[in-house]
Amino acid sequence: MTFKQEENYLSLNALTRFKDQAGHYNFQADKEAVAVYMRDYIQAKTKTFANLDSKLDYLFENNYYEKEVFDQYSKDFIHEIYQWADDQDFAFPNLIGAMKFYSAYALKTDDKAYYLETYEDRVIANALFLANGDQDLAKALAADILANRFQPATPTFLNAAKKRRGEYISCYLLRVEDNMESIARSIATSLQLSKRGGGVALCLTNLRETTAPIKGMANQASGVVPVMKLLEDSFSYANQLGQRQGAGAVYLHAHHPDILKFLDTKRENADEKIRIKSLSLGVVVPDITFQLAKENKDMALFSPYDIKKVYGKAMSDISITEKYDELLANPAIHKDFISARKLFQVIAELHFESGYPYLMFEDTVNRRNPHKKKGRIVMSNLCSEITQVSTPSSYNEDLSFRTIGEDICCNLGSLNIAKAMDQAPDFGHLVNHAIQALDRISRKSDLESAPSIKKGNQANHAVGLGAMNLHGFLATNHIYYDSEEAVDFTDMFFYALAYHAFKASHDLVKQHGPFAGFAESEYADGSYFKKYTESRVQPKTERVRQLLQDYGLQLPSQEDWQALAKAIQEDGIANAHLLAVAPTGSISYLSSCTPSLQPVVSPVETRKEGKLGRVYVPAYQIDNDNYAYYQRGAYEVGPQAIIDIVAAAQKHVDQAISLTLFMSSEATTRDLNRAYIYAYSKGCSTIYYVRVRQDVLEGSEHLESDELLSPGPTSPDRPSCNGDSECESCMI
């Protein structure tokens, strides 16, 4: 690519930030930039073949494509689906989508000199893999993905049908128990999973605290921080062929005695011996912590070592809220005390410094947990949208398993809300195809390197279907993000999504049977569905009622839910979990839409894309008519509006939603504490990043760029994961 070629398409893209003489923004210039980029840069670097057969033979013979995926279909069908895709005349809606695809997803020759795939090729590879030989499903998935109605998560979209690949799974969650064997095995497993691509989160709550006894000798334990350092070095070492560091997160309970030491590792002025630079931190916060802070009381920090001795259970496996007074009164359990308000103050300070820690509201997610008889939800993942039960493993001295527990993996994909609504009469079919695709990933993934995750996946086949482009849909329909109508629409969309997801999983029972623990779940006794079977759900606003009617989205009735719940009780469902909303940073850029459920940062976002410098990203289908509905972005609407949206969706999502809080540069720690309390009180499950706006002046140009924002005012330790489980850190 010559400088002149680069200048041409980037110059056209830059025009989207400026008005013409009539006072209108030149958003069309971005589409012109795409055409120039494809013509002057991509076409010259794309390897050509005489015909489709010669292309596929080359890809098979040179170990680029997995021939077994294609052998599930007839040669005639392969030709038919490629010709169909070519006939669609696909074009990237935005320059960022084209650049994202060719920089991060398109298959290249081993010497990186040529591209071997178009976007249509990658879509077909996914459809053929996910459909598992079903021609009709392959056609449907190809249509849904190419039209941006459904988008598999990055690890799936990137790796499907490739011979040399990573895994299809976005994130993994591991429990760590209080013994050296478990710690060592967790580090080894993290290395194996990072090697294959995917973010790994680990629960450290059960590790004994600093100065706890070892073999009866007091003041011997080193606590959680040395384990964190070992994990951070491990993730840095597993750098995925030098492409990027492995990505990890660690979660610790708020009432663990090492909680302040844990948080201090993210201080900007922390001693290098304890400072954690790239590992993400998460705190598990129960109801009792909020109650004690409200009453301005000290909170007890309980020794996990003593809890295990007294109760015979790990700390993460008991409810601290339920047992708090009992633990407090028991002299056999050592406890320290700190101010509950001080803890939240420290958390807020760190959010301003680094964007960390993530927060998981322990009792909220466990009240929603449909698998209470099986166990407790003790942690979340790297992007805080996965909340599932895990069970402990035990090990022999040679690190072999004595008993294999169940750990967790995330099989993710997202619907594009605007595109899904464009095909609203077929909404049920779209959701059905998506659930089938995610279920296929859970049954195809190779998890031999992590036996506890393999066991959990085989037992549960849990999936996480989410959604993106909410702000895009609202703005193009002239609905402000911070409005009653926006919350109402979100509520109704996810209400319909939940129904069709459960219906799709029920349909899969005929093929796979119910997941292993179905009989003990709240799906089996019908209690999970009471919120639908015992009340009638309808839009609250006339605007949304009319909108759904205009688009043709038929909401399930109370009678529909009653019939489905009865059928599920009789037959079961194939998947232990169905819905989770990830941040979708990478795939929303790929699909040229707004990320997840959050508002845009600005109508035209500024991003840094490698050596190319700034790329301007106009919001989804933005024009001069709907510009005003994008003008109030994430920092203008503030955290309350975003929390209201997430809370509306969370009522229907059986796992969690990655909730990012956007704070103005004038915000205080008190403002952040109010936001935590509001999110908790509204029933949100987790808080992901906190981003603080920083206005940066560069020359005479005022930048409003998410790339220049937090996670904090200064962020030297910012991880490569920039806000989604489909992000660059979570893929290979």
Task: Render 118-166 in DSSP notation, one character per residue.
Answer: -HHHHHHHHHHHHHTT-HHHHHHHHHHHHTTSEEE-HHHHHHTTBSS--
**What dotted CATH number matches 171-285+340-408?**
3.20.70.20
Global pTM value: 0.93
Bridge partner list, 657: 581
Residue 22 pLDDT: 77
- Give the chain's largest Cα–Cα span: 80
Look at residues 381, 377, 434, 472 and name the one whose alpha carbon lies nearest to residue 726: 381
Instruction: Tell me how long the chain is.
Output: 732
Centre a 10 Å sphere on the Cβ of residue 133 and count the other Cβ atoms it contains.
11
Cα separation, 602 vs 503, in Å, equals: 38
What's the whole-number mean pLDDT along residues 253-261? 98
pLDDT tens across 191-230, in order? 999 888 889 999 999 999 998 888 878 877 899 999 999 9
Find the helix or strand (DSSP H, E) in which 607 lies.
strand 604-608
Q: CA-CA distances (angstroms) from residue 534 to 377, 559, 648?
A: 27, 10, 19
What's the whole-number mean pLDDT along residues 663-667? 91
pLDDT tens across 474-497, in order? 999 999 999 999 999 999 999 999
Cα separation, 599 vs 486, in Å, equals: 11
User: And the tokens for 255?
Assistant: 């009432």
Bridge partner list, 412: 464
Cα separation, 302 vs 314, in Å, equals: 12
Show the CA angle centred on residue 595, arms to residues 126 and 370, nearest 5°. Answer: 75
Query: How far is CA 227 from its chain centroid?
Result: 25
Residue 707: pLDDT over 90: no
Centre a 10 Å sphere on the Cβ of residue 338 and count the other Cβ atoms it contains.
17
pLDDT tens across 399-441, in order? 999 999 999 998 999 999 999 999 999 999 999 999 999 999 9
User: And the tokens for 505?
Assistant: 């999983």
Centre a 10 Å sphere on the Cβ of residue 689 and count the other Cβ atoms it contains.
27
Show the CA angle centred on residue 386, arms to residues 105 and 129, nearest 5°. Answer: 40
DSSP state letter for 619: P
Residue 727: pLDDT over 50: no
pLDDT tens across 118-164, in order? 999 999 999 999 999 999 999 999 999 999 999 999 999 999 999 99
Look at residues 204, 255, 231 and name the one whose alpha carbon lies nearest to residue 379: 204
> Using H for helix, E for strand and C for coil, what is the string for 589-601?
HHCCCCCCCCCCC
Residue 24 pLDDT: 83
Find the helix or strand (DSSP H, E) in which 703 lies.
strand 701-703
Q: Tokens 């009789």 belong to which residue?
A: 570
Cα separation, 158 vs 168, in Å, equals: 8
Look at residues 94, 33, 27, 95 and name the one whose alpha carbon lies nearest to residue 630: 27
Bridge partner list, 615: 607
Find the helix or strand (DSSP H, E) in which 569 lies.
helix 558-571
Amino acid at 324: Y
Q: CA-CA distances (angstroms) from residue 709 to 271, 353, 701?
A: 25, 12, 16
Centre a 10 Å sphere on the Cβ of residue 632 and count the other Cβ atoms it contains.
18
Cα separation, 604 vs 616, in Å, equals: 6
CA atoms within a 13 Å half-sphere pointing along the CA-CB vector of 108: 12
Look at residues 47, 15, 44, 42 and name the one whose alpha carbon lies nearest to residue 28: 15
Do residues 476 and 417 touch, judged by C-beta distance below 8 A?
Answer: no
- Every domain range in the chain assigned CATH 3.20.70.20: 148-168+414-598+618-627, 171-285+340-408
| Cis ω before 556 (30° cut-off from 0) | no
Cα separation, 448 vs 468, in Å, equals: 32
Asked which of 360-364, 471-475, 622-626 is least confident by mean pLDDT, the reply is 622-626
Query: How far is CA 61 from its chain centroid?
Result: 35
What's the whole-number mean pLDDT along residues 437-460? 96
Q: Tokens 């004595």 belong to which residue?
A: 402
Catalytic residues: 381, 383, 385
pLDDT range class, residue 6, cuts 50, 70, 90: low
Share of the chain above pLDDT 90, in %: 83
- Find all residues with CB under 8 Å of 99, minimum gap 6, and list them: 37, 609, 612, 615
**What dotted CATH number matches 148-168+414-598+618-627?**
3.20.70.20
